[in-house]
Structure 1
Amino acid sequence: MTVIRTRIAPSPTGFLHLGTARTALYSWAYARHFGGQFVLRIEDTDVARSTQDSVDQILASMKWLGLDYDEGPIYQMQRLERYQAVIDQMIAAGSAYRCYCTPEELDAMKAAQESRGEKRRYDGTWRPEAGKTLPAIPEGMKPVVRFKNPLDGDVSWDDVVKGTITINNREIDDLIIQRTDGVPTYNFAVVVDDWDMAITHVFRGDEHVNNTPWQINIFNALGAPLPAFGHMPVILGDDGQKLSKRRGAVSVTAYEDGGYLPEAMLNYLSRLGWSHGDDELFTREQLVSWFDGTHLNKSPAQWDPAKLEWVNGQYIKQADDARLAVLVSAQLAKRGIAAEVQKLTPMCTLFKDRCATTVVLADWLAMYFAPVAPSAEDLAAQVTDAVKPALATLADKFAALAEWNKAAIQAAIKETITAHGIKMPQLAIPVRVLVCGRAQTPSVDAVLELFSKEIVIERLRGV
């Protein structure tokens, strides 16, 4: 029985963006569903643009998302000897050849084709054919190596997502598979990698559809087994344009910094191109159980920040409070606010239902550890001369309390309301403004209980 093997192969020329993260998720879930293996490969042959910072960010993103891999990371630049061996094999077999065209000659070739209204393509100057005399090899010039693509016939495959796709070989030319510096190009290296790593299923963005005929032809030239291909439609941004590294995409780690939970991000990403009935929220285990490669959408998905916030909010409501406290503590630390996890835990319990992210939760809980600054409008509207005597009374009653808990706080508030002949909102809202810096909070006694008594009294008397 064939072992299912999938892979994700990001290029370390920037951050891991959302489209690649979705592809990684689908590849991971498919392998896990069938008890297979998931491989992480770093496609770093773009030497000029690849950076270690990008590699680190990719690895951090995979770890945060919980997409564990069985092999890797495997780096293409550590496999140059293997690529060279395959290229030598192909040249010897006649399925690849050296080309000595200069960049100027190629430019002139394409310009002439354009002037004749033809498609721009390599004209086969250095392509060996029976009875053909090749030009003299220029002295001291390093060649590229080109794949000898079939001239006729169709390339056809049954795409896991899009169905049958057929492209005629006349639509593609003899692509370069090795540059003059000896570094292989993408379409060649990816074939050798997938062959060597026994990859059975390749999920990737549909921008790679046009690369697939070349790759299938190279697989065939090598006598290597073909993987199944599944090309995912793009993710569109709010403006209807494709999200990409160069246009509007945000890194995965930016969402971690923005207070999103990884399980919420996985849930949301999985629904951008796949569905399981009407299920909106599901666990990682359910995703693996359901993800068998069916129900993948052929149409582009729309990125919806509001929907992601809603999903994240649902997960925050269900999250363990001690775990949230750790995340909120980290968010507060970025603001220079030190907060003990032990103190934050009951605060998370009280406030998490109101929050879509841990950043918003930190916004709420900062009031317990740092001074608040009520707005001038709230102070003017709520902390009036008429209510100030009641606030002074309440501060005195709080100071006299032997115990600081909800019951005692509630009793002091009720006594103050009775003594001054006012209603609960007339006192509770000004208390919220002065102590919390805002007019709306959960139940005021529950909120005040989590403050130290001294801070509450200090803020009430600071009127």
Structure 2
Amino acid sequence: MSVRLRFAPSPTGELHIGSVRTILYNHLFARQRGGRLILRIEDTDQERLVPGAVDSIYAGLHWLGITWDEGPREGGPHAPYVQSERLPLYQKHAQELVDKGAAYYCFCSKERLAELRRQQEARRELTRYDRHCRNIPAAEAATRAKTESHVIRLKVPDEGTLSIEDLVHGHIEWQANTIEDQVLLKSDGFPTYHLAVVVDDHVMEITHIMRGEEWVASVPKHLLIYRAFGWEVPPMAHVPAVLGPDGKKLSKRHGSTAVAEFRKDGYLPEALLNYLALVGWAPGTEEEVFSMDDLIRVWKIEQVQSAPGKWDKERLDYFNGVWIRRLSTDELVRRLEPFVPPEWDRALLRKVTPLIQERMKTLRDAKDQIAFLFTDELAYDGVPLTPKQKDAISTIEALATATVPLRFADPFTKPAIESALHGAAQERGWTVGDLNMAVRLAVTGRKVGPPLYESLELLGKDKTLARIERAQERLAEIK
């Protein structure tokens, strides 16, 4: 039988970067083994649903290039793949456990349960259900269930050991007497997460369960449900959490956490997946730049670490720069489209793109670096027009000196521009670096940007000279 894995996000918000790392590992495990990957939407917690969240999940995963074989929109042999559309299945299985004596109807009101909890807390006892309805005769309970509000609870044994051999954490065990008689089916007919996930994994023939380590605490509850049904438990792997730099749960206080935000911020999907794969996985070599195909080839579940990984934005920026530099000019221009104004000349954009490719950390960096090429006038708002340790008067004079050879540079190309500015710097007794900075500030309005000589060539002689003249006027106003 081929392997079958699933990733099962809850539509309670934007697709989180920590969830993506878990989804990626599922994807790699399945693709390495020629298996199938299933997308299942777990929406049993109806109160937390967020409109549009499923669309966000689809958009984020498609952008990342993660593919799957069965799902809500793709269909498959075990459709539907949305839990709220599978309620009769869960109700049937919960009733099956009642009929075989492995579960029971509970008629306790919310008020009784709240009072029970209050008393247990007052006595500093473990808060748990006291099995008040566990021993109601089956016939009586069945009769009452027809007219009274109720839930279905699992009959948890009083003793015994539960254990798994986790593919990441190794041997983990629990004592059955630490688990309360958990609710399987709520009074509104919806299953709890624990019943739904076990039933779905079994019915959908999931061969390996790979999820975040936050679910380790739920494993004994799931093992008890598997045991009650008499089903075989699939191998499990609980991958480590992704924490913030401070060692706390990764959240918005650490910056972007949603896939949509990284996309908006100008990160490449290749870079995001490359970096995410390494947060909790050590390849065992010096190699660190991996495409999806590379990851499918080299990633191993045995190399996934049990300790949590820490998010490092600087490392992500590094990988993003690496992947930007790997793109062809045409591909980089295509990816820049959402980040630059539609009215910008695309032919000019294609010419300048190679000049900034080495200098970009994200796609969003491009607009500010090259905007000077696509505007007729610079505002110079808040821009110091003098190089360090130079005053306004000397800068005006240096720019005037540079203007003469620039005006006579023909053709107005990089070699001629470079020669003109080198000669002007020597004539003024300035370093080439200082004069270049004065010209850069005058022409681009920025201290950093694409290479200066190439930038002036693209801007053209007339605009270059006009901006130098405008900068001199501005300097004269403030000297």
Fold match (TM-score > 0.5): yes
CA distance in 1, matches of 2:143, 2:430: 102
Residue 201 (1) aligns with residue 200 (2):
no
Q: Distance in 1 between matches of 2:383 and 2:165?
A: 65
Deviations 1:256-314 (A, max 9, x none): 11111111111111111111113322222121112231111111111111111112122
Shift of 1:115: 3.5
DSSP-derived class of the 2:392 partner: coil
SS in 2 for 1:97: strand
Paired AA for residue 241 in structure 1:
K
**Alignment of 1:31 onto 2:25:** no
Contact (CA 8 Å) 1:33, 1:290: kept in 2 or not?
no
Change (3 A) 1:247 1:25: same
Counterpart of 2:130 (choices 104, 118, 123) is 123
Is 2:274 the counterpart of 1:267? yes
Determine if the alignment matches structure 1 residue 455 to structure 2 residue 460: no
Q: Does 1:344 align with 2:387?
A: no
Normalised TM-score (structure 1) = 0.90
CA distance in 1, matches of 2:254, 2:314: 20
Residue 429 of structure 1, CA deviation: 1.6
CA separation of 1:402 and 1:118: change in aligned 2, threshold 3 A: same
For residue 87 of structure 1, what is the amino acid of its counterpart? A
Q: Tell me: CA distance 1:38–1:342, structure 2 relative to 1, closer, same or farther (3 Å).
A: farther
Q: Distance in 1 between matches of 2:469 and 2:463?
A: 10
**Distance in structure 1 (CA, Å) of the matches to 2:298 and 2:314:** 26
Q: How many residues align?
A: 459
* Aligned sequence identity (%): 35
The answer to whether the 8 Å contact 1:191/1:215 transfers is yes
Worse-matched range after superposition: 203-212 or 218-227: 218-227
The amino acid of 1:41's aligned partner reads R
Is residue 405 of structure 1 aligned with residue 413 of structure 2?
Answer: yes
1:11 aligns with 2:10: yes
**1:148, distance to aligned residue in structure 2 (A):** 2.1
TM-score normalised by length of structure 2:
0.88
Alpha-carbon separation, structure 1, partners of 2:202 and 2:253: 30
Answer yes or no: is the 8 Å Cα contact 2:105–2:141 preserved in 1: no
Distance (Å, rounded) in 2 between the aligned partners of 1:445 and 1:248:
37
What are the superposed Cα offsets for residues 125-146 of structure 1, whole Å, 9 maximum, x if unpaired? 1224789986994995321111
Matched, 1:177 2:176: no
Q: Could you tell me how far apart the structure 1 residues matched to 2:230 and 2:290 are?
A: 42
Q: Equivalent residue for 2:77?
A: none
CA distance in 1, matches of 2:141, 2:116: 17
Residue number among 353, 356, 366 corresponding to 2:361 in the alignment: 356
Query: For 2:154, which of 137, 147, 152 is the aligned residue?
Result: 147
AA partner of residue 265 (structure 1): L
Deviation for aligned residue 1:42: 1.0
Distance in 2, Cα, partners of 1:18 & 1:176:
31
CA distance in 2, matches of 1:24, 1:131: 43
Which portions of structure 1, spanning 4 or more consecutive aligned residues, are displaced by more than 6 angstroms?
A: 129-136, 245-249
Query: How far 1:391 sits from its partner (Å)?
Result: 2.8
Match of 1:367 in 2: 372
Tell me, what secondary structure is at the counterpart of 1:39? strand
Q: Which residue of 1 aligns with 2:257?
A: 250
Distance change >3 Å, CA 244–CA 86, structure 1 → 2: farther
- The residue number in structure 2 matching 1:68 is 67
CA contact (8 A) 2:162 2:223 kept: yes
Counterpart code for 1:35: G
**1:427 maps to which residue?**
435
User: Partners of 2:255 and 2:266 in 1: how far apart?
Assistant: 19
TM-superposed deviation, 1:12: 0.7
Task: Summarize the Cα distance change of 1:345–1:105 in structure 2 as closer, same or farther, 3 Å threshold.
Answer: same
Matched, 1:156 2:163: yes
